[in-house]
Chain A
Amino acid sequence: MSTREPVSQLSEGGRGRKRATAFPPSPLLASAELPKSAEGDPVFAEPWQATAFAMTVRLHEQGVFSWSEWAEALSAELYKPGRRADASDYYDCWVVALSRLVTGLSIASGPELDALTRSWQRAAEATPHGKPIVIENDPLR
């Protein structure tokens, strides 16, 4: 099965709290080609996609970059040749766009991000089951 299918739209259960309106809508919801449910909420195929989305919303809220800077960075990735025909790489493009903004704004360098990425991968491999994966678990750190 593909985990990239649109998520099913099931009613909110649990403790009866409806949280989808807890935040003012971010302008980032207008991002080009953003995968959305019938109700207009963003949908995510995997948890990391939701984290990437949330970080971008937050950075924009904090004024780290403007809407047009974001739109331009995202478009540059989305309209590159070689995208998957089923658009299942949408959030891959999103993360690359976000990384480029972060390095372009000198918040971190490309090599620094690459090194941290590898560090997290080693940390995950080194973390036993049942323990939280923290970067300090990277044996080379």
Chain B
Amino acid sequence: MSEHHHGHGHDHHHHDNHFTDMEARVKALETVLTEKGLIDPAAIDAIVETYETKVGPRNGARVVAKAWGDPEFAAWLKRDATAAIASLGFTGRQGEHMRAVFNTPDTHNLVVCTLCSCYPWAVLGLPPVWYKAPPYRSRAVIDPRGVLAEFGLELSAEKKIRVWDSTAELRYLVVPERPDGTEDFSEEQLAELVTRDSMIGTGLALSPEAAR
């Protein structure tokens, strides 16, 4: 069983997408170089993928670590993620609203939608290349359990999977469950367990053993 949620604000007919001068110029170079046969977008993706975890401040890991260690912060994050995240000094480039969805023993959350420029990479890190592929998006909505299994994440049949589709105004952050054996971990140590994949829901937080 799965549910498919849309965020609020379906009637957003104003500009959903925007490229800065530099973003647009890089796209222009990519277009011209591809047309001339000098680069192949797949080769560029492959190089970028090598560094995908090196892009952006990835401060979502610190948000999750704080929520694990501080129940008051966790409650605030649940109630008003935008303000709670901003309190740590992190704000989205376009001031987008964030919503934190918490994994629990009986519910797993998965975020889709990276097709446009709305993906909050500053919080989550760069999305993986495969994640942006339209087939992934549609399959994740139809068969989230199967897609997750392909990524090596086998969830029990009893576990409910909620799929969240971001809108231009609302972006999601998955708060994974805190791994066992981390009771005496500092916030910094906890943050090291929070992977990009665990914050989009295609993985879990690392166990202390796996992080070593």
Residues of chain A at the chain B interface (Cβ within 8 Å): 1, 3, 5, 7-8, 10-16, 19-20, 22-23, 37, 41-55, 57-59, 62, 64, 91-92, 95, 98-99, 102, 107-108, 112-114, 116-121, 124-125, 127-133, 135
Contacts and interface: CB of A to CB of B under 8 A. Distances in A.
Contacts of B22: 46, 48, 91-92, 95
Of all A-B residue pairs in the complex, the 7 with the closest CB atoms, nearest first, are: A13-B195, A116-B28, A54-B47, A14-B197, A129-B16, A124-B19, A120-B24
B184 interface: no
A59 B165 CA distance: 37
Contacts of A23: 46-47, 50
A8 B117 contact: no
B147 interface: no
A51 B48 contact: yes
Contacts of B62: 8
B25 interface: yes
11 contacts: A8-B57, A8-B191, A20-B50, A20-B51, A42-B51, A42-B54, A53-B51, A59-B33, A92-B22, A107-B36, A135-B27
A48 B51 CA distance: 12
Interface string B147-171: 0000110000000000001011000
A120 B27 contact: yes
B93 A3 contact: yes
B1 interface: no
A98 B26 CA distance: 10
Given A5-B57, A130-B113, A11 B192 contact: yes
B53 interface: yes
B29 A8 contact: no
Contacts of A120: 19, 23-24, 27-28, 31
B29 A95 contact: yes
A67 B52 CA distance: 25
Interface string B26-60: 11111111001011100110111111111111110
A99 B29 contact: yes
Given A8-B191, A121-B19, A112 B58 contact: no
A113 B51 CA distance: 27
A68 to B, nearest CB: 19
B198 A57 contact: no
Given A44-B54, A120-B19, 10 more contacts: A10-B53, A47-B55, A52-B26, A92-B22, A116-B28, A117-B27, A119-B28, A120-B27, A131-B115, A131-B116
B146 interface: no
Given A14-B195, A55-B29, A58-B47, A7 B23 contact: no
Contacts of A45: 55-57
Given A48-B23, A130-B115, A57 B47 contact: yes
B39 A55 contact: yes
Contacts of A47: 48, 55-56, 121, 126
Best-surrounded residue of B28, B36, B58, B116 (most CB of chain A within 10 A): B28
